[in-house]
Amino acid sequence: MAKLYFSYASMNAGKSTVLLQASYNYRERGMRTLLLTAALDDRAGSGRIASRIGLAEDATPFTEGDDLFAFVKAEHAKGAVACVFVDEAQFLTERQVWQLARVADDLSIPVMSYGLRTDFQGNLFPGSRALLAIADELREIRTICSCGRKATMVVRMDGTGEPVREGAQIDIGGNDKYVSYCRRHWLELMGSRL
């Protein structure tokens, strides 16, 4: 039985690296995979998944209005799809998460999605909230805070190295803009949530 997986982590945990490695394992055995990534994240170029360690692959970019079930079904009709991989899954809509669940349930194709759980203010992203609610399996990919503890939070920094406490939930960036911290150090930088 195919499942919908959600692997989540803070920034710089290696989510894209794990995704690309898993897709490579399928392809090495002659199986076809589909790679999807959020169109709004074009740091590596439009429709490209890239890791900090230099791995990269082309992917199909998705936007809010795309029907991912219809897309995967059409691709599967062209040639068997063994697995669907979704990078930047936090940018999925709730509807798209349900579409991916249908890919697993109705098409019997496993879906492995990777993304952030929370934003810089400690709030769930819409796609992450839906995945946490309905994914068959949840997996945490770990990274560490500068103190050595598990990092579960991320701080958005301004150009001067100061934490940003307000603003839009989505502001695409990498190491230049975001730093992962444990909850304790995140609270020290961001201030109390109460």
User: Are the CB atoms for 168 and 125 separated by under 8 Å?
Assistant: no
162 is catalytic: no
Instruction: Given the residues 57, 64, 88, 94, select the one marked as catalytic.
Output: 88
**Helical pair 126-134 and 94-107, crossing angle rounded to 10 deg:** 40
Look at residues 4, 180, 13 and name the one whose alpha carbon lies nearest to residue 92: 4
Phi first, then psi, for residue 101 (nearest 5°) are -65, -40
Q: How many Å is the maximal CA-CA distance in the chain?
A: 53
Instruction: Return the closest-CA partner of residue 4 out of 133, 140, 142, 143.
Output: 133
* Residue 181 structure tokens: 């911290």
Instruction: Find how far residue 26's CA is from the centre of its chain.
Output: 19
Which residues have a catalytic role annotated?
88
